[in-house]
Chain A
C-alpha cells in the first residue's frame, strides 16, 4: 500500500508502512522481506545429460565441451581422463552412442562429440608429460592380474592405477592393444596413436604388460589358478578374436580366409597376401573393415555379401558411406552357398543365392535361402566375417554360458563355494562377457571392474549405481538455441585412401571447428553459468558468486517465487520445488514485518477512538438508566 504523496499524520505513521523500498535500494531487501509470497522455490538441480548417460564409460561430455568452449583444453582433457584413459583412440574409433543420444539431434543435428574428443585426446597426447601422473596415489602393494590388453584390460589397469593398485596384463599376441591393434585397421586408428596411448599408460608406473603370454591351459603355465593364487584379483578381458568358420562346401579351399585373422596379421604388421577380387561374407563392421583393407592391400576390388538387405546392414552409417566412396561393392540379400575351386584347390569363384533374414516371434533371426536362385560369381579370395567367438574351454564350466563368461550385475564371475581360492575376486568384461560390442563398452567395463575390485579388496560392499535423471529434449528451453549446422569431420580423399593402409580416413577438427561444435552444446540439464537467471530475476533475488557452474544462489528471504528464472533457464537445471518440501528449521522464512511492524499494530483501536466509543456507550447506558452491564465480549465497555 503506497501512500506516497499523501499526508499521513504523525500518530498514524508506522515504521515502514506505506513505503515499499525497492529491492535495489540499500537495505531494501532486508526491510521488506517478501519470501513469504513464495510457495514454489527455484532450486538448482543438475541432471544427467543424455550423452553422458549413453556413454558406457560415463564421460562427462557436457563438461569438457564447456571447457573447450572456453579454450580450457587441459581441463577438458583431464575431465575425459577421469573416465576414459585413451581419448585419442575413442576419438577415432568409437561408434559414439553419445552422438546417437544427443538431444541436439531433435533440434537440428547431433554434436560431433567424437571429433571434439579426438581434438582433446591429441592435445593431451602431445603434452610433454602426462598431467595426471603427479596426482596419482602411491601404490598400495596390491596387484591385479588382467587377462587381455584390449580396451577393457587397459582401462581396468588405468583405473586401478588411479586407485593405487598395480597390475600385470597378460597378452597373448606379440604386441599389446588387443582388438585395437588386431581388429581395427590402421587407417581407422594409426598404430602410432595406439602405441603412444599405451606408452602413456605404462608411463604412469605400476602397470606391466607381458606380451606373448596367453592365459589358459597352455604350456607356459599362465593358468587361471596361477592368477587367482598369485594376485589379489583377476580381470578377464579376453575379447572374442576367433572368427566363426564357414559351413559350406569348399570352405577348406586355399583363399578362404577368416576376416579376423586377416585383420590381425595386417594389424601386427606381418606380410599378408590378398587377391585382387575379394568377396567378403558378412554384414557387420568387420566385413566393412576387411573389405576396405583388402582394397588397400590387394589393389583390386572387394564386394560385401550380406544376408541383410541394404537398409538393414549392420555397418556404421559413416563407415558405410566411406566404404561406398572407396568403391566397395555390395551384394545385399545374398548368401554364400558353395565355394568354387580351380584344379589346384584355389578359390576361383563362389555360388551365391538370394537370401534374407527371417525373424520369428522370439526375435531370433535365421537366414532364409531361396532355392533356385543360385548364381556364380568370380573371385580369388573369400574373407569370412560372420561373427566371432572365444575359446573358453579352459575356464571352469560354471564360469561360462553359451560361449560367454557369465557374471553377476557387478561383472563378477560366479564362484562355486566359499572355499575356493580367491572367491569373489574374479571379474570379467568386454566382448567375452557381453558378446560382440563396442570399444567403449569394454572401456566402461574396465572402469567399473576397477571400481568394484577396489571395493572388494578394501572389504566394502558392492553397490549398484545410483539411478540418474536423464534430461529429455522437451524440458529444455529450446528458444534459446539457434539452429547451427553440424561440422562433419573432414575425410581424406577417397582416391588417396584406397591406395594406402597408412592413410588415416577421418581427419581431425581444426581448433575453430572443435570450438564451433563445442559451442553447439545445449548443456542439457546442467548449469553452464549462462547468467540468464541472474539477468531475468525481476526482484534481484538471484545471487552470483563467480560466473561459473553452480555458483548461483537464491535469496530465499526475498524471492517471491515468480518462477521467471525457472521458465527462462535454457538448460533446464532450475526446477520449481514446493516450498513446503523444505522442512528444516532454517528453511522456514517467517516474516512478521511484512504485515505488522509490531504485535497488533493494525488490529488495535487507537486510544482516542476507544475513548470516543466508550464515552458514547456510557452516555447511552446512562440514558437507559442501566448500570453495571458488562458486555459478554468484555471489550469496549466500562462498568
Chain B
C-alpha cells in the first residue's frame, strides 16, 4: 500500500486546516505502523492571502524512497479545503487513471461540482467525496473569510505558517470533518484510529458519517 495525499488550500485564511489534514493523516499512519512522511510547508507562499497552497503527506507499508521530492509525484488522495479550487488548477497532475480520491469541502450538489472537471481530469477521478466541512465543523467566529476562526486565532495561525510557533490543537475547525470524510471514503485507514490524533474528534466523526460519495471510475 502506498498513498500520496495532497491537500490544496488557500494561504493565510485556511492554511492551518490544510496542514492539519496532512499532519493528522501522516501521524495516524505512523502510529498504525506505516512508513509516513508529512510536508507541511514547501514552495508555495503561505503568507499570501487566498493564494493556492499545498500540503503533502504520504504513507506506505514499505520505506518511502522519493528522497528530496517533497511534492507528491503521483497524488491519489486529493483534498480541496475550499471548493473553488476545483476550477482553479489541475490537482490530478500525474495521478493514475481512475485512482484519484477527491474530497471537496462543499455544500453543493456533487453533480454540479463534476461539471467543472475537464475530460482529462475526469479520467483520473476514481471517487468524488463531498462533505460540508464548514457546516459540520464547530462554529466559531462570524466572518466567512476565516471560516470558523476568529481574528486572533488567525493571527496565531499565520505565525505558525511561517514556522514560528505551532498550536497544540491539531485537527480543529473544518480540518476535522475533512479528515473524517477522507478516511471513511478511502477506507485504507481505520476511522477510530485516525480519530485519536484529531483534536476535534466529534467533528471528525461527523465528517466520517455525513458525506456523499460518487463512485466515478469503474471499480476494478
Q: Does A603 contact B (CB under 8 A)?
A: yes
Binds A, one of B19-27, B43-51, B161-169, B191-199: B43-51
Binds B, one of A32-40, A226-234, A274-282, A373-381: A32-40
Q: Are A609 and B115 in contact (CB under 8 A)?
A: no
Q: Are A605 and B94 in contact (CB under 8 A)?
A: no
Binds A, one of B77-85, B124-132, B170-178, B211-219: B77-85
Instruction: Name the interface residues of A580-607: CB closer than 8 Å to any CB of B.
Output: 580, 583, 588-592, 594-596, 599-600, 602-605
Main secondary structure of the interface of A (DSSP, over half): loop
Given contact pairs A39-B82, A583-B112, A592 touches B52 in the complex (Cβ within 8 A): no
Q: Are A36 and B52 in contact (CB under 8 A)?
A: yes
Q: How many B residues, CB 8 Å from partner? A: 39
Given contact pairs A600-B73, A603-B72, A588 touches B94 in the complex (Cβ within 8 A): no
Q: Does B123 contact A (CB under 8 A)?
A: no
Q: Does B140 contact A (CB under 8 A)?
A: no
Encode A573-584 as 1/0 by CB contact (under 8 A) with B: 000001110010
- Per a CB cutoff under 8 Å, which of A34, A589, A590, A604 touches B73? A604
Q: Which B residues are in CB contact (< 8 Å) with A589?
A: 87-88
Q: Does B156 contact A (CB under 8 A)?
A: no
Q: Are A631 and B65 in contact (CB under 8 A)?
A: yes
- Per a CB cutoff under 8 Å, which of B86, B89, B106 touches A594? B89
Encode A18-46 as 1/0 by CB contact (under 8 A) with B: 00000000000000001111110000000
Instruction: Name the interface residues of B62-115: CB closer than 8 Å to any CB of A.
Output: 62, 64-69, 71-73, 82-90, 93-94, 106, 108, 112, 115
Q: How far is the CA of A602 from the CA of B75 in the complex (A)?
A: 13
Q: Does B209 contact A (CB under 8 A)?
A: no
The distance from the CB of B149 to the nearest CB of chain A, in whole angstroms, is 17
Q: Are A590 and B87 in contact (CB under 8 A)?
A: yes
Q: Which B residues are in CB contact (< 8 Å) with A636?
A: 65-66
Q: Are A39 and B65 in contact (CB under 8 A)?
A: no
Main secondary structure of the interface of B (DSSP, over half): loop
Q: How far is the CA of A632 from the CA of B64 in the complex (A)?
A: 10
Q: Does B60 contact A (CB under 8 A)?
A: yes
Encode A245-289 as 1/0 by CB contact (under 8 A) with B: 000000000000000000000000000000000000000000000
- Per a CB cutoff under 8 Å, which of B67, B87, B94 touches A36? B87
Q: How far is the CA of A38 from the CA of B50 in the complex (A)?
A: 7
Q: Which of B52, B72, B84 has the most CB of A within 10 A?
A: B84
CB-based nearest A residue for B73 = A603
Q: Does B31 contact A (CB under 8 A)?
A: no
Q: A594-B89, A603-B73 are in contact. List 13 more A-B contacts (CB 8 A).
A: A1-B43, A35-B88, A561-B50, A562-B50, A583-B115, A583-B116, A590-B118, A591-B88, A599-B93, A603-B69, A604-B69, A605-B68, A632-B61
Residue ranges of A at the interface with B (Cβ–Cβ < 8 Å): 1, 34-39, 560-562, 578-580, 583, 588-592, 594-596, 599-600, 602-605, 609, 613, 617, 631-633, 635-637
